[in-house]
Structure 1
Amino acid sequence: MKRILSLCLGLVAFVAVPVMAQAPAAAPTGKIHGHVINPTGAPQGAGNVTALPSGKDKGDVFQVNAQGEFTGEVPAGTYTLVFRMPDTPQDKQVDKIENVKVTAGQTTEQDIDMSREAYVKTLPADQQKQLEDMKKHNSEALKANEVIKHLNADLKTVADDIHEADATKDPAAKTAKFTEAEQLMLKDTAAKTDASILWARLCQAEVGLKKFDDAITSCKKAVDLETTSKKPNPEVQGLAQSILGEAYARTGKVEDANAAYDAAAKANPPQASFYLKNQAVIFFQQNNAQAQIAAADKAIAANPNPNDPNLAILYYLKGQGLVGSATMGPDPKNPKQQIIILPPGCAEAYQKYLELAPNGPYAADAQGILQQAGQKVSSSYKAGKKS
């Protein structure tokens, strides 16, 4: 009897054990990602997107970030994406995209583009007109920006070309660099006729190619544009006037050259000494001693530091311009010996050169002229030993 009772109790205990219910399998999901674009074509950096399953009036809400992007994850299925601004009532909507199919395990890309024609046509007529005008303006601005981008790239190339052309001693390489610069600036001045810097760089390239008449025309164009500009650029003015001065100097128009260089110095005072120094060098290259002396004196006067080593070349150029007027005559200390009689200011110019550049490239030349003139060289220059 006890045995049967025990068996019955065991059966009762077994039956009483509860059975665990199994949770339903989670529905497979997919991702939705997209951009919200406002009617102007720009990102809509505020608001939210609701993913409504087909036949439902409620769904998951995803926030739109500052870049106009939204991202979310929903069960696989077909959805309507509803966009609302932060202040849009829940029973209203700004825009919607229907029949968006989300596949399990995949990302569905779907933008809400309110610049599309179908949406824009739903707006009031005055808003449509404003959008049309805005898009036209933006399109023109984008085109202008693209042009400016290309022009700036060309200007950098031209600046590099001119620098390399000035540095090389190979005539063919020099011509090639100036030619490339000229071709770029001819193209760019045709594309944008009102940019003074383009004309100034064209002028610079034309001077390098010895096309002086063309250069004068181009530089004058740059100067005219700067003169009528509401915001003149001193650096462009200085560049254009100084290159114009060089073109005039190379063609023997001394008065015009002097006027242009003076205008460059006046337009851009910080570079005045540089412009006038170039003026003296160019007149030296043109064998115009009088213009060379005058330009050297102006450049020296424009430098506030009388002991600036950069002045050395100017004193040498002044001396070189003056020495051409030297004569031969008896040495006061030894009348039987002939020496060079230097014109006023010549010896002082050479002495100043030696003072500022005692070991400069023209030191031996300056010392030699002073010694032939019976002058005592008051500098620390020491001639190298002859081999």
Structure 2
Amino acid sequence: MFAQLRRLLLFSSFVLLVAGCASAQTTMLQGDVKDQTGQPLKGAVIVLDRTDIKGHYQVKTDKKGHWLYMGLPAGTYDISCQVNGQTMDKVSGVKSGYGDNPPVDFDLRKVVAQQAQAKQVNASGELTQEQARGMSKEQREQYEAQLKKNSEAIKKNKALDDANNAGQDALKMATADTDKAKKATDYQAAVDAFTKGTQLDANQVVFWSGLGEAYYGLGLTQTGDDRTKSLDGAADAYKKAIAIHPEEASLYNQLGNIYGAERKIPEATDALNKAAQLDPTMAAKAYYNMGANLVNSGNYQQAGDFFKKAIAADPNYADAHFQYGVCLFGQAQTDPKTGKPVVPQGTADEFQKYLDLKPDGPHAEEAKANLQALGEQVQT
């Protein structure tokens, strides 16, 4: 019976954590919105898209036209103002840092006037008399050249936004899908959208990280060569994202998870170690993931070492305690005289610690059964 229980423990399944970008501290951004008459605009949607790494947030203005977003990770954002589903204005490259940040305001009266003027110039291809008055020939030529350049930039930015929005929407649908075939279709749509984004601008990390996530999700719906191809595509995409943003810990963490899914344990270990080095706050999850990768490849003793590291990084990490206990239990020997298991010292302590931290957790019954198999009384 003990041998059977031991085999069950050794082959207990893992849910590999996909740790996002952990943020030990957060920031705040705020501003005001005025409508086309110059009055405070209530209910405008302020959309904050993080550009240095994927992140999407939104908030509505109050009756005074004021908006405020607290708990925002520090980073670089494109902030847009939407009214009735239409983007009215956008501010790019807003830096959100610790301390006081300048307000980000939107005055739709000015926006509408600028749009009307730009539309007039674009339609005619020439400056109005008022605009041209007082300009030299050289100044007019420079102005018109800049106008053409701006028009091209606007078109490109719209194409970039469209590609990103299509990719993000497809990812959301894929995550919500319960049908495997539909999930695969939506992940492929996300792959196509983010691929288009990388072709438009290969220096945008949001497209590469999105492409990596899409390929990873697609790969998990596939088997055989198709799965391998998609997971390789995911790894390549995250490596390109890292080349652009080499100090972002979450990118290494995601890359490590992909290598883990491919059973490339040395590569997974290197990537997750780098994630823990860059951001100690996510070290526990990174080390836990390494342990999970090693268990999935059958390296239980090495896995135990990483679960122990996860516990050292976060002593209250309940799942790490349980899995470390399982790894220790897997090293048990049967006493030939008594037939009872002889396990490394501290094995029972790990199962009891899990129960202390998560008495109703998903592994609670397993932990209790393990303690009983070891002849230990469950403490409540």
TM category (shorter chain) comes to 0.5 to 0.7
What is the CA–CA distance in structure 1 between the aligned matches of 2:170 and 2:234, rounded to whole Å? 16
Aligned to 1:193: 202
The reply on whether 1:126 has 2:135 as its aligned counterpart is no
- Structure 2, gaps ≥5 residues long: 1-108, 114-119, 220-226
What is the CA–CA distance in structure 2 between the aligned matches of 1:116 and 1:213, rounded to whole Å? 51
Deviation at 1:118, TM superposition (A): 7.8
What is the CA–CA distance in structure 2 between the aligned matches of 1:266 and 1:190, rounded to whole Å? 32
Q: Percent identity?
A: 28
The reply on whether 1:328 has 2:338 as its aligned counterpart is no
What is the CA–CA distance in structure 1 between the aligned matches of 2:198 and 2:124, rounded to whole Å? 40
Deviation at 1:218, TM superposition (A): 1.6
Deviations 1:171-199 (A, max 9, x none): 43443343332222222222221112221
Distance 1:360 1:68, change over 3 A: closer
Aligned to 1:369: 370
Indicate if the aligned counterparts of 1:158 and 1:201 stay in contact, CA closer than 8 A. no
- The alignment's TM-score, normalised by the length of structure 1, stands at 0.57
What is the CA–CA distance in structure 1 between the aligned matches of 2:124 and 2:262, rounded to whole Å? 64
Distance 1:324 1:158, change over 3 A: farther
Aligned to 1:353: 354
**How does 1:306-321 map onto structure 2 within 5 Å?**
306=315, 308=316, 311-321=317-327
Deviation at 1:257, TM superposition (A): 0.9
Indicate if the aligned counterparts of 2:235 and 2:255 stay in contact, CA closer than 8 A. yes
What is the CA–CA distance in structure 2 between the aligned matches of 1:343 and 1:367, rounded to whole Å? 18
Q: Which has the larger radius of gyration?
A: 1
Deviations 1:194-216 (A, max 9, x none): 11222122222222313222222
Aligned to 2:192: 183
1:215 to 230, 234, 237: 234
Deviation at 1:265, TM superposition (A): 2.5
Distance 1:361 1:138, change over 3 A: same
**How does 1:38-53 map onto structure 2 within 5 Å?**
none
Deviations 1:143-182 (A, max 9, x none): 23313422441353254246436xx4x5434433433322
What is the CA–CA distance in structure 1 between the aligned matches of 2:351 and 2:278, rounded to whole Å? 31
Give the paired residue count.
253
Higher RCO structure (Cα 8 Å, ≥6 apart): 2
What is the CA–CA distance in structure 1 between the aligned matches of 2:367 and 2:143, rounded to whole Å? 75
What is the CA–CA distance in structure 2 between the aligned matches of 1:290 and 1:118, rounded to whole Å? 77
Deviations 1:83-103 (A, max 9, x none): xxxxxxxxxxxxxxxxxxxxx
Aligned to 1:116: 126
Deviations 1:102-140 (A, max 9, x none): xxxxxxxx99x9973684888521222221232133223
Whichever residue aligns with residue 312 of structure 1, its letter is A
What is the CA–CA distance in structure 2 between the aligned matches of 1:300 and 1:183, rounded to whole Å? 40
- The alignment's TM-score, normalised by the length of structure 2, stands at 0.58
What is the CA–CA distance in structure 1 between the aligned matches of 2:128 and 2:206, rounded to whole Å? 46
Indicate if the aligned counterparts of 2:164 and 2:193 stay in contact, CA closer than 8 A. no
Distance 1:179 1:148, change over 3 A: closer
Aligned to 1:135: 147
What is the CA–CA distance in structure 1 between the aligned matches of 2:112 and 2:234, rounded to whole Å? 52
Aligned to 2:245: 226
1:290 to 294, 298, 301: 301
- Structure 1, gaps ≥5 residues long: 1-64, 70-109, 228-233, 381-387
Deviations 1:28-65 (A, max 9, x none): xxxxxxxxxxxxxxxxxxxxxxxxxxxxxxxxxxxxx9
Deviation at 1:356, TM superposition (A): 0.9
Distance 1:301 1:374, change over 3 A: same
Aligned to 1:150: 162
Distance 1:249 1:66, change over 3 A: closer
Distance 1:216 1:267, change over 3 A: same
Whichever residue aligns with residue 124 of structure 1, its letter is S
Indicate if the aligned counterparts of 1:354 and 1:363 stay in contact, CA closer than 8 A. yes
Distance 1:203 1:277, change over 3 A: same
Indicate if the aligned counterparts of 2:197 and 2:207 stay in contact, CA closer than 8 A. yes
Distance 1:246 1:372, change over 3 A: same
